[in-house]
Amino acid sequence: MEPLRGGALVNLSDKALKKLKENSNYSPAAFGLRWAASRDNVVTVLSGMSNLEQVKENIQTFIDYNEMDEKEEKLADEIAKIIQSQGEINCTACKYCMEVCPRGINIPALFALYNQYKVTNNKMFFKIYYETLAESEKADKCIKCGLCSKNCPQSLDIPTLLTKINDEYNKSAG
Ligand code: SF4
Ligand code: SF4
């Protein structure tokens, strides 16, 4: 399920995409699907598709399927490192901040979503997933009390980061 992280791995950042293009003729979708299918314990790769082109491309990927070789495995690792290094907020999802937030804001979910957005540059994905959060969990409900930051082992300036995320959402929605 979700071998391409709900489409997020199809929209690679410029740096990750450049790395893939320089070293492979596969598209991000085909490369990702082949990576998933090349795991020893995987027998089925189940990918969501939203248009006919994607259906055709994915079928072709598996008609022509061949397992990733060592060089490609190495390339996948290098691309993964690029993706991981581009996450912006060093949140470990411990949720200590949520224990003290009087507004019930889903801070780790917002940070994870924002990091993913920074990696993929996929504005539409960011907007859609942001809107699936309950109203009370969204960044604009923060009252800047600062209690969360005092409880954060990473010393993150959470209120400021939430403002940044809210601004980004407003840009994506506008
Ligand atoms: S600053 Fe915002 S996110 Fe942090 S505890 Fe207060 S209301 Fe919650
Ligand atoms: S306390 Fe800090 S590291 Fe932990 S989930 Fe909250 S923001 Fe992330």
Would you say residue 76 lies in a domain? yes
Would you say residue 49 lies in a domain? yes
Angle at 95 between CA 92 and CA 98, to 5 degrees: 140
Positive or negative CA dihedral for 119, 7, 73, 15? negative
| Number of alpha carbons in the 13 Å side-chain half-sphere of residue 88 | 17
Query: Both 42 and 65 in a single domain?
Result: yes
Residue whose CA is closest, atom 3 of ligand 1?
Answer: 142
Which residues span the domain enclosing 45? 14-85
**What would you report as the CA-atom Rg of the chain, rounded to the nearest whole angstrom?**
19
What mean pLDDT is predicted for residues 137-161? 95
Cα 98 to ligand 1 centroid, rounded to whole Å: 8
CA 109 vs. chain centroid, Å, equals 11
Q: What is the pLDDT of residue 8?
A: 66
Tell which atom from ligand 1 comes closest to the C-alpha of 149: 4
Tell which atom from ligand 2 comes closest to the C-alpha of 93: 5
Tokens matching residue 90: 């060093």
Quote the pTM value.
0.63
Query: Both 49 and 109 in a single domain?
Result: no
Where among 58, 85, 112 does a domain terminate?
A: 85
107 lines ligand 2 (CB under 6 A): yes
Would you say residue 51 lies in a domain? yes
The tens digit of pLDDT for each residue in 56-66 reads: 999 999 999 99
165 lines ligand 2 (CB under 6 A): no
